[in-house]
């Protein structure tokens, strides 16, 4: 039986899935922390604190950037997985319209996703 790590390096979609899984788990942990802080913000606001005071107190001000970073990380990992799995499905002989249907996106989106990326 092949080594699991070797199999992963031979399968870009599996590698991208592993990355997406790791990013999703880390994001869930981070979102729990963000959720707790958001609850604290709501409590402060309900107690009559001004928005300025809420956002100036501690980590509250960085919450929006934390959420944006988490979303960007998930989006990047999800996009990489979608791209590699679409390419794998195409290599397996699947037509673009069928790949698009399977991944719940348009055929044009799949076409753009699997197109080789230009290097800057």
Note whether 60 and 54 are within 8 A (CB).
yes
CB 109 within 8 A of CB 99: no
pTM of the complete model: 0.78
Give the model's pLDDT for residue 118.
73
Question: For residue 12, what pLDDT is reported?
Answer: 95
Predicted local confidence at residue 8, as pLDDT: 59
CA distance 60 to 76: 25
What pLDDT does 57 receive? 78
Query: For the chain (length 120 residues), average pLDDT per consecutive 10?
Result: 61 96 96 92 95 82 87 96 95 96 94 81
**Widest CA span in the chain:** 64
Q: How high is the pLDDT of residue 9?
A: 66
pLDDT at 76: 96
User: pLDDT tens across 81-106, in order?
Assistant: 999 999 999 999 999 999 999 999 99
Q: How far apart are CA 11 and CA 1, in angstroms?
A: 15
For residue 10, the model assigns a pLDDT of 87
């Amino acid at each position: 039986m092949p080594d699991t790590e070797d199999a992963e390096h031979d399968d870009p979609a599996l590698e991208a899935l592993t990355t997406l899984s790791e990013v999703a788990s880390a994001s869930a942990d981070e979102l729990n922390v963000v959720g707790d802080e958001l609850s604290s913000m709501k409590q402060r606001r309900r107690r009559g604190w001004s928005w300025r005071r809420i956002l100036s107190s501690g980590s509250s001000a960085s919450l929006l950037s934390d959420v944006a970073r988490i979303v960007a990380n998930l989006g990047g990992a999800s996009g990489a997985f979608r791209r590699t799995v679409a390419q794998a499905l195409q290599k397996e002989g699947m037509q673009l319209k069928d790949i698009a249907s399977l991944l719940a996106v348009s055929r044009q989106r799949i076409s753009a996703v699997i197109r080789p990326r230009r290097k800057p």
